[in-house]
Amino acid sequence: MSKHFPGDDDDIIAAAREGFLEEAQDNLRQFEQGLLAMEQDPGDAEAVNSAFRAAHTIKGGAGLFGFQAVVGFTHEVESVLDRMRDGLLAVTEPGMALLLQGRDQMERLVHAVRDGTEGDAELEAISQRLGEQLRQLRGESAGPAAPASATAAPEDIPASNGEGDGVWHLSLRLGVDALRNGLDPMSFIRYLDTLGEVEGIRTLAEAVPELLLLDPEGCCLGFEIRLRSPADRQTIVDVFEFLQDDCELEVLAPDASAADYQRLLAQRAADEPAREALLAHWQALGMARLLEAPEPADSAPPTTADSPEPAATSVAPRPAAAPPRAEERRGGARDRRAGGEESRFIRVRADKLDHLIDLIGELVIASSGAQVAAQQERSTRFGEAAQRIHDLVQEARDGALGLRMVPIGETFSRFQRVVRDVSKELGKDVALQITGGDTELDKSMVETIADPLMHLVRNSLDHGLETAEDREAAGKPGQGTLALHAYHESGNVIIEVSDDGRGLNRDRILAKAVERELVSPDSVLDDEQVYRLIFEPGFSTAAQVTNLSGRGVGMDVVKRNVESLRGQIKVASTPGRGATMQIRLPLTLAIIDGFLTQVAGVSYVLPLESVAECIETPPGFMLGEHGACGCFDLRGEVVPYIDLRRSFGHDGPRPTRQSLIVVHSTDSRIGLLVDRLLGEYQTVIKPLGSIFQHLEGIAGSTILGSGEVALILDVPSLERLQIRQPRHLATSPIHTSRTAHPSA
């Protein structure tokens, strides 16, 4: 027999608790989305049911773990939604605003559970204040609010069917897989105390087999429970909704007759010994008088459509055609159980996934080393085996990276609340459109890009979109549109934030740049160069500082964060018609397809998706006498170039033939002059040590199959360093200041 360690149960409970907290965040998002959908369409029954299910799931999960502050407050929110769902309370703007405040308080309470600060006095005061407002909203007398940590007050629990505050009888039989499915029956029973008082309980262990036949993961228990509660039948049944697939529950109302108990006795007891055992449990619960003068089971009058609801209710097995209301209440839990879509998914710790990606990266390096060794040995069989390993490693790489890919739609959906709150604060009518939410991106990048997107969204709301009056005066619809769009393009993810507002004011931006000496007054700049000025540190055209903008802090940080992900950001604007901010990001940051080059014997890698073409130095190409950059003619287009040999200070003679790699830069194309082209190469990105992180133009390093280290180029940073001086727009634009050109 295995030895039981005292810490085992604590570890299991801690893991289950962490699972609840993670699931609570998902349910909070579902709750918020449901509320926002209700506000847009008050008649959307599915939105109301979705929000109700999310709140009820949070409340039920919190009750299982004894998080009473969460249970008590969520009950207040749930009660308002219940009345809205029944059509007893209208969906109004003040009501939705209060429910959204309630959602925020629920999140704070969940965070308090995670942080261990559940008893915070300020948090309890907020719960009391909001709880009182929620009771007033649903038409109940305001009175002093119960503490948030207390269970739901009896007067808040609905009573119906004339049952009143009586003693209910619950007969519960657990399924054999209840424990195996991770359910703790005692948690559900303890939760009954939130509905009233458990006056008596008997545990039925007659079905437990001998020790040698006992399945440690199987459940063979039953319970007979006496519950005094003013709650209605449905509220009591809902306590066990998470158990409904793993239990048989019979509920007898306080006014149940002796015949009802006799029918239950006949149902539960298959033979005379079982009957006597169950009767003994009932007598121990003080139920002897309920069994006096029993009526024959077959003498009960038939139930008709006009007959009152029966005193005894069975919830398992469920009828094939349950009422829609019951299905709505139970659907959320059932879908999450066995057979539902989510049963195909498992949660994996992020650090374990990162470790797997690291191992795949080492496999990529080892595979490259095997190919190099095969080439050196000039062995055909060795080369074929190395190539096969290479192909398998590449498949494993793609599969492992795919595990970290998540839809960006979850990030997009967070902005629904932001758009709602900010637009109301600014007095604007704004509709949010989301497309391409299923576009996948590396999880680490999704987390990093959320803040830049938040700033762009708030910036569009504050600066871009006009008030309804201004829009109508300009011949536009009164409601503005803010759009979030994502899609894949050439191995990159494109994210666009656009609006149909007033657009960027070119003259105002240029005047501000001249005022701040970012450009000279006689500069000749095209629109794209002017719009790039908004990313300069401290740049702002706002007339006054508000809590949203005006301090010149943000757009430069947006650009810096995007470029830290090896991304690029572009601006497009049409005066009077709106603006679009386009962010281009690589699919992943861990392992990329690279293009390997060499300069003075040193290897450099470029991200393959940024490479447009490779050409020999064109006829008449001449290096500038000074500096590491110049221009060349690419089929009639003047393109700037960077001489990597001079840029990185490599000495030694140049080869007689060099090549130009044309790459996509931030807003144009740029050439990189290298000595040799070595072709495509799977690149495992290794971060530089802290001592080298200040280096401009270098994004990281990788290890080649030969064991040598290659540096990964950061083209935007290199362009800023070599072509654009600190006051790069204080002179003429690049294409008019070429160093060498065939026609010169």
Q: pLDDT digits over 248-271, tens only? A: 889 998 888 888 888 888 888 888
**Residue 545: HSE in the Cβ half-sphere, 13 Å Cα cutoff:** 5
The CA distance from 69 to 111, in Å, is 12
Q: pLDDT digits over 93-148, tens only? A: 888 889 999 999 999 998 888 888 877 888 899 999 999 999 888 876 544 444 33
Q: pLDDT digits over 54-74, tens only? A: 888 888 778 767 788 888 898
Sheet strands (E) in 647-697 = 659-664, 669-674, 676-684
The CA distance from 318 to 173, in Å, is 15
Architecture of domain 591-736 in this structure: Beta Barrel (2.40)
Q: Which residue has the tokens 């074929």?
A: 384
**Residue 135: HSE in the Cβ half-sphere, 13 Å Cα cutoff:** 21
Beta-ladder partners of 638: 633
- 693 or 410, greater pLDDT: 410
Question: What SS3 state is found at 162?
Answer: coil
Would you say residue 156 has pLDDT above 50? no
Contacting residues for 177 by C-beta, under 8 A, at least 6 apart: 218, 219, 246
Would you say residue 2 has pLDDT above 50? no
Q: pLDDT digits over 330-382, tens only? A: 344 444 343 444 445 677 777 888 888 888 888 888 888 888 888 888 888 89
- pLDDT value for 496: 93
Mean per-residue pLDDT, 405-426: 88
- For residue 503, give both structure tokens: 């657009």
- pLDDT value for 339: 40
The superfamily in CATH containing domain 7-155 is: HPT domain (1.20.120.160)
- For residue 532, give both structure tokens: 């790039």
Longest dimension (CA), the chain: 116
Give the mean pLDDT of the chain: 77
- 630 or 102, greater pLDDT: 102
Domain limits of the chain? 7-155, 166-299+309-327, 350-403, 407-586, 591-736
Q: pLDDT digits over 198-249, tens only? A: 888 888 888 888 888 878 778 888 899 999 888 888 888 888 876 777 788 8
- pLDDT value for 288: 67
396 and 358 Cβ atoms separated by less than 8 Å: no
Would you say residue 607 has pLDDT above 90? no
Mean per-residue pLDDT, 468-483: 92
Count of CB atoms situated within 10 Å of the CB of 343? 11
Would you say residue 3 has pLDDT above 50? no
- For residue 554, give both structure tokens: 């943000």
User: Which has the minimum average pLDDT: 105-109, 289-293, 502-506, 570-574?
Assistant: 289-293
CA distances from 400 to 356, 440, 591 (A): 7, 14, 10
Beta-ladder partners of 615: 660
Class of domain 166-299+309-327: alpha beta
Mean per-residue pLDDT, 499-525: 85
Architecture of domain 407-586 in this structure: 2-Layer Sandwich (3.30)
Mean per-residue pLDDT, 464-493: 88
- pLDDT value for 165: 65
pTM of model > 0.75: no
Mean per-residue pLDDT, 686-700: 74
Contacting residues for 488 by C-beta, under 8 A, at least 6 apart: 439, 494, 587
The CA distance from 60 to 184, in Å, is 13
Mean per-residue pLDDT, 273-294: 77
Contacting residues for 339 by C-beta, under 8 A, at least 6 apart: none
Q: What is the dihedral of CA 295, 300, 306, 308, to 10 degrees?
A: 30
DSSP, res 337: S
The CA distance from 227 to 239, in Å, is 13
Mean per-residue pLDDT, 299-317: 45
